[in-house]
Amino acid sequence: MHNSASLSSMVCKALGASLLIAAAGCNDPLSPDRDVILPVSEIAAPADLTLGETLTVGVTVSLVTSCVSFERFEAERTTSRVTLRAIGREKLGGACAEVITEETHDYRVSQPLTLPFVILVLGPDGIGQQRVVNSRAP
Residue-wise pLDDT for 73-87, tens only, equals: 999 999 999 999 999
Domain regions of the chain by residue span: 1-30, 32-135
Among candidate residues 131, 121, 132, the one with its CA nearest the CA of residue 38? 121
- Asked if pLDDT for residue 21 goes beyond 60, the answer is no
- pLDDT tens digits for 86-119? 999 999 877 888 888 999 999 999 889 999 999 9
DSSP state of 47: S
pLDDT, position 82: 97
pLDDT, position 11: 37
Cα 84 → chain centroid: 7
More confident residue, 7 or 57: 57
pTM (2 decimals)?
A: 0.73
Count other Cβ atoms within 10 Å, centred on residue 85. 20
pLDDT, position 68: 93
pLDDT, position 64: 87
Report whether 71 contacts 89 (CB < 8 A): yes
Report whether 57 contacts 43 (CB < 8 A): yes
- pLDDT tens digits for 26-67? 545 556 789 999 999 999 999 999 888 899 999 999 998 899
Report whether 84 contacts 121 (CB < 8 A): yes
More confident residue, 107 or 135: 107
pLDDT, position 138: 64
pLDDT, position 31: 62
